[in-house]
Structure 1
C-alpha cells in the first residue's frame, strides 16, 4: 500500500474470518430507556483502524464483503499499539465481524482479561460491485480516481446518493456505525470508562460529521481516534492519532526477547533397543528417568509462565517429571507430537539406515530432514516443520510482551524439521537422550540462545 493517509485505501482491506462472539447482525432501534441511560454516563470510544493487510498493499477495493490477512507488519503494529495504549484502562473491547479487525483487537488487548466481542454493524463499508477490484481499475473505468470517495460513496449527510458501483453510501454506513456504538453503550448502562473498538478506514466517513467542515481525511492503519459519548451526544476528542503507535514501537524495542525452552524427551526403551519411535511410544529407561530428575533440579528455580507438551506419553511424562516443582498447568497439544512415519513406525533403525532410498537418507540427515517424504502414508518433513513452526510462532505472539519464560516439551525429528525450516544455519542436531534448546523470539523471528 502506498503510504498515504488521505486515500483511505485500507478501507478495503480484509482478512481471514476468525470466530468470535457476535452481538448483533443488524442495526436495531434505540430504545427510550437506552437513551435515558446514556444521559448519566461518559464513555470514550477508542476507535482503531486495523493493522496493515495484504489487500492494503495491493490497493484493492475490499470493504465489507471481503477479507485479507494482516501482514507481519500489521500484526507487529497491532501488538505495538497495545503497548502504546498500556496506560489506557479499557472496560471492554469490541470489533467488527471481519477478521482483520478482530485479530487487531486481540493483539491490542493481549495480556488483559477482556474478551473481544464482535458486532456486524461495525464492519467496513461495502464497495458493492467493485468489491475485490483495484483502485486503478476504477480510475480507468469511471474517469474518477478510485480514491475519490465522494464520487463512489457520496457524503455522510446525503441519504439519497446512488453509487455508480452500487456501493453502500456514506450516509447509510454512518447511520449503522453510530447505531453500533450506541448499541455498545447500552451494554454498559452503569459504567463510565474507555472502550476499545477496532474497525476500518471507513470510520473516517462517519467521523467527518464531527470535523467542522474540514476536508475528508483518511485513517492510517492502527491509528487511534477518540469519540466521547456524554449526555447522549458524541464529541470527537482525537482523530487519526499515530503517537500511540510510535510510543508502542519504542516500548517494544526496549523489551527483552521472549525465551522459549524446548525440551526433547530423554532415552526411552525403544530408542535403546534401536527402534524408530515416531508416534510409537515407550517408557523411559533408568537412564532416561535419571535425566528427567536432573533436569527437574536444574530448572527448579526458573520462572515459567506457561508449559506445553506433546500428547505422546514420553513427552507428557517428561513434562510432569521436570515441572513437578512448578505450579502451572501443562497444556497438551498434538502439534508438538513426533513425526508420524507410516510403515516405518517401530522399524529397526539399522534396517532403515541400510535403505538406499532418498527418503531414508533424508530421515537421518540433520540438514535435510525437511525434505523427507514418507514412502507411504507417513508425514513429510515439510508438514512436520510447518505445524511446529505454526505452534511456536503462536506461542511467541501470545507471550512476546510477558515477563517470564515458556517451556515446551517435544521430540527430536519434528524439532529437527523446524530447525531446517526456520534456523537452517544453527548448530543444533538431534541425538538420543534429553536435549535442551533455548530460543529467543521477537518480532516473529527466532534465534538460538543456548543448546545443551
Structure 2
C-alpha cells in the first residue's frame, strides 16, 4: 500500500512538473499565433473654404481649413484622446495634413503623407462649383454616381473626365495596404486623415446600403485582420461631440506678456524702436520686484525679444526659475526708420498722421512709416503669428508661458486682436495677463510695477 501511495505521489509530482511547462508553451504558441489586428481610424478633414462655397475641389487642388475646421479638428483630437495610436498618416493635400496634426496635438507623433490617400480627381471640373455642373449636365455635383460611377465598375467613363470610383478605390486600398506593410507584426490603431471620397471606397463594405457621404471630421473605422478588411464604424460624429464637451471644460492658456521697464534712452525722452539701452535704477528695481512677484508661478516656456532690454528683463524676472529662454526676433520692437533714437518731442512736433498714430494707443496698427521703417500692421502680424503659434503649441498644457517684448508692438497687436482694449503708456514694467483659447486672445488683467 505504501509503495502504491508512493508511486501515485511520484506520478502526481512528475505530472505537476511537466504540466506547467506544457501549459506555458501552449499559451506562448497561442499568443504568437494570435491574429494581429490593425484598425484604421479614417477621418475626413475639417471644414474648408471650398466646402462653404460648394466648390468641386478634389485631388487636383487644396483649400485651407476655416477657423471652424481647425477648431473641429482640434476638438476631435480631444474626443479621440482615449484612443492610442501607433502611427499617423494623411494625404499630401494640406487640408488633410493640417487636420491630422491638429488631432495629434500633444502626442509627439509625426504625420506621414501618402500621395495615394489624396481626394478623388474631379478631372475637367476641378475648381468649379456644384451649381455649374447642375446647369451643364442636369445632375447636381452631389450626384456622385453620375460623375464617378460605382466602386465596382472599372469601365465607367466620367462626363467630366474625372477619376472613377473604381480607380480611386484601388489606389486608396493600395495606400492602406502600404501603411499596413509598415506595421507588420503589430496590432493597434492608426490615424488616417483624408477626404470625403473615402465614402466611395468604403461603400464596398456597406452591403446594400445606399451610397452616403462623410461629414467633416467624422470617423470611420476599418479593421484589417488576417489580410481582410471589414468596416467597424462609419461616419461617426460622436467623437467630435465628445471633443466639444471636453474642450469647453478646458481652461484657457495663460500667457504672461511682459513689457520692459524704463531704460536710459526712454528716460531721456528718446524714441526706442530697435535702438537699445540699459535700464535705469528704477527699471532694475522694477525687474527685481516682478521676479519676487512671480517666484511661485509655474512657467512651462519662456520667450523674449533679441533686444537687450527684452532678454535682460527676462533674465532678471526669471532668475531662479531654471526655465530655458527662447529668443525670437518676432518679439523685437518696431523698427522706426529715421525716427530711431529721435527725440519724442521732435516727432510729436511734426504733427503728422504717422506721429499721431504712433502715439495713440488705439491706432498704432495704422502707423505708416514715413521712410524705411516698419508699418504697424506688419508689426502686429509678426507678434500675432508668434503668439498664436505659442498658443497652439501649449493650449492643452498646464502652466503659464512668459513672453518678454516691447510697448509699440504690443499696442499694435492688441489693436488687431483685442481692439476694445487700450494699453496706457507707462515707465514701469507692464505685465499683461493674456489668455488664449480657440485661436482667440483676451486680456484678463494688467498691472504696472515701478
Residue aligned with 2:379, SS: helix
Partner of 1:231: 226
1:59 aligns with 2:54: yes
Question: Mean alpha-carbon deviation: is it higher for 139-148 or for 38-47?
Answer: 38-47
Q: What is the TM-score of this pair, normalised by structure 1? A: 0.89
* CA–CA distance in structure 2, aligned partners of residues 59 and 392 of structure 1: 33
Task: Tell me which residue corresponds to 1:80.
Answer: 75
The yes-or-no answer on 1:432 pairing with 2:420 is: no
Range with greater deviation from structure 2 (124-133 or 388-397): 388-397
SS at match of 1:43: strand
Structure number with bigger Rg: 2
Aligned match of 1:9:
none
**Residue equivalent to 1:130:** 125
Aligned pair 1:243/2:238, yes or no? yes
1:3-402 correspondence runs (5 A): 40-402=35-397
Indicate conservation of the 8 Å contact 1:39/1:232, yes or no.
no
By how many angstroms is 1:410 displaced? 1.0
Name which of structure 1's ranges 291-300 and 53-62 shifts more when overlaid on structure 2: 291-300
Whether the 8 Å contact between 1:261 and 1:408 is mirrored in structure 2 is yes
State the Cα deviation string for residues 215-272 of structure 1 (Å, max 9, x = none).
1100000000001111111111000000000000011111111111100011222212
The answer to which of 377-386 and 280-289 deviates more is 280-289
Task: Please give the alpha-carbon distance, in whole angstroms, between the structure 2 residues aligned to 1:54 and 1:150.
Answer: 24
Partner SS state of residue 350, structure 1? helix
How far apart in 2 are the matches of 1:250 and 1:386? 32
Contact 1:225 1:238 in 2 (8 A): yes
1:38·1:232 contact (CA, 8 Å) conserved in 2? no
Return the alpha-carbon distance in structure 2 between the equivalents of residues 117 and 307 of structure 1. Answer: 30
Offset from partner CA, 1:186-216 (integer Å, 9 cap, x none): 1122321111111110110111111012111
Q: Deviations over 1:382-428 (max 9, x none)?
A: 11112212222222222222221211111100001111122222242
Are 1:92 and 1:195, in contact at CA under 8 Å, matched by a contact in 2? yes
Secondary structure in structure 2 of the residue aligned to 1:239: strand
Name the residue aligned to 1:30. none
Q: How many residues align?
A: 416
C-alpha distance in 2 between matches for 1:224 and 1:112: 19
Q: Which runs of 4+ in 1 moved over 4 A?
A: 37-40
For the residues of structure 1 that align with 2:408 and 2:445, how far apart are their CA atoms? 19
In structure 2, the CA distance between the partners of 1:163 and 1:285, relative to structure 1 (3 Å rule), is same
1:421 correspondence with 2:381:
no
Q: Is the 8 A contact 1:153 1:170 kept in 2?
A: yes
- Contact 1:61/1:127 (8 A) holds in 2: yes
Distance 1:39 1:270 in 2: 74
Note the C-alpha offset of 1:285. Answer: 2.2
In structure 2, what is the equivalent of residue 14 of structure 1? none
Deviation of 1:39 after TM superposition, in Å, equals: 9.4
**Counterpart for residue 34 of structure 1:** none
Local SS of the residue matching 2:107? coil
Determine if contact 1:63/1:125 at 8 Å carries over to the other structure. yes
- Superposed CA RMSD: 1.6
Encode CA deviations 1:322-367: one digit per residue, 9 max, x unaligned. Answer: 2222233222222211111111111111211211111111111112
Deviates more, 1:368-377 or 1:327-336: 327-336
Alpha-carbon distance between aligned partners in 2 of 1:170 and 1:415, rounded to the nearest angstrom: 53
Q: Does 1:411 align with 2:409?
A: no
Verify the 8 A CA contact 2:362 2:422 in the aligned structure 1: no
Whole-Å Cα distance in 1 between the matches of residues 254 and 135 of structure 2? 52
